[in-house]
Amino acid sequence: MKLTDLVKFNDQGLLCTVVQHAQTGQVLMVGYMNSESLARTLRDGRACFWSRSRRRLWTKGETSGHFLHVQEVRIDCDGDALLLKCAPAGPTCHTNETSCFYRKVESDGAVTLAGNGVATQ
Amino acid sequence: MKLTDLVKFNDQGLLCTVVQHAQTGQVLMVGYMNSESLARTLRDGRACFWSRSRRRLWTKGETSGHFLHVQEVRIDCDGDALLLKCAPAGPTCHTNETSCFYRKVESDGAVTLAGNGVATQ
């Protein structure tokens, strides 16, 4: 089967993409790809997204040097989400946290800082 | 800080939500929540989504019994994605795979079956 037969971009031409640390399993970020950024990611082995705020292609790390080196790409059962297993060259979040998911939500809706978000902690 | 100050639903009122196995770190699925499904998830401790295809609230496991028992909720830096760390009561995918991300994409675009998708394998 080919990716092009399976992948379903949404009505804005975007595909939800989860980035996971290939070694620790930590979920690092969620981004969106269009078909061009997906092609670049597969070709170059570095995660490239469509920046919805800047409305342009955005290779993660192009400014900071904190590239996400892609080790494996997976697609989900209905073809509308990707999972990238990556070796990050530095912190993934623009706040300098390892992961963008550094805040915890309690059942009463309170939000607290929770550190690095490693999956098994 | 309160969740309601931070969370940003998209223009369709939805929030991208990544489900991760709390023990193994495996990424199990991606779903979408509206504000009501998010409130239910926090209240009941079982993952509840907005089914875009069925256009109704959908508690994962309501038919199969394969509920996702929520152990931790995280929100990302810009408030537009959630991460749920869950104890799944059975396979998460409707195909009976542990994870919806059971297919691997090669750099040439070929898609192959890849098994259970455990993060560190």
Q: How far apart are CA B6 and CA B51, in angstroms?
A: 23
H helix and E strand count, chain A: 2, 8
Q: Do B72 and A2 touch (CB under 8 A)?
A: no
Q: Do A77 and B94 touch (CB under 8 A)?
A: yes
Distance from CA of A90 to the nearest CA of B (A): 17
Q: Do B107 and A42 touch (CB under 8 A)?
A: yes
Per residue in B37-73, pLDDT (tens digit) is: 999 999 999 999 999 999 999 999 999 999 999 999 9
pTM: 0.94
What local confidence, expressed as pLDDT, does residue B117 receive?
Answer: 45
Q: Do B76 and A2 touch (CB under 8 A)?
A: no
Distance from CA of B41 to the nearest CA of A (A): 9
What local confidence, expressed as pLDDT, does residue A116 receive?
Answer: 63
ipTM of the complex: 0.94
Q: How far apart are CA A93 and CA A61, in angstroms?
A: 10
What local confidence, expressed as pLDDT, does residue A51 receive?
Answer: 95
What local confidence, expressed as pLDDT, does residue B116 receive?
Answer: 63
% of residues, chain B, pLDDT over 70? 94
Half-sphere exposure for A42 (CA within 13 Å, toward CB): 21
What local confidence, expressed as pLDDT, does residue B120 receive?
Answer: 35
Model confidence at B88, pLDDT cuts 50, 70, 90, reads very high
What local confidence, expressed as pLDDT, does residue A50 receive?
Answer: 98
In this prediction, residues B6-34 reach a mean pLDDT of 97
Q: Do A2 and B111 touch (CB under 8 A)?
A: yes
Distance from CA of B29 to the nearest CA of A (A): 7
Query: What is the per-residue burial (b if ≥16 Cβ within 10 Å, else e) of B80-110?
Result: bbbbbbbebeebbbeeebbbbbbbbbeeebe
% of residues, chain A, pLDDT over 70? 94
Whether A65 and A94 have beta carbons less than 8 Å apart is answered as: no
pLDDT higher than 90, residue A57:
yes
Q: Which residues of B touch A29 (CB under 8 A)?
A: 76
Q: Which residues of A touch B111 (CB under 8 A)?
A: 1-3, 5-6, 75
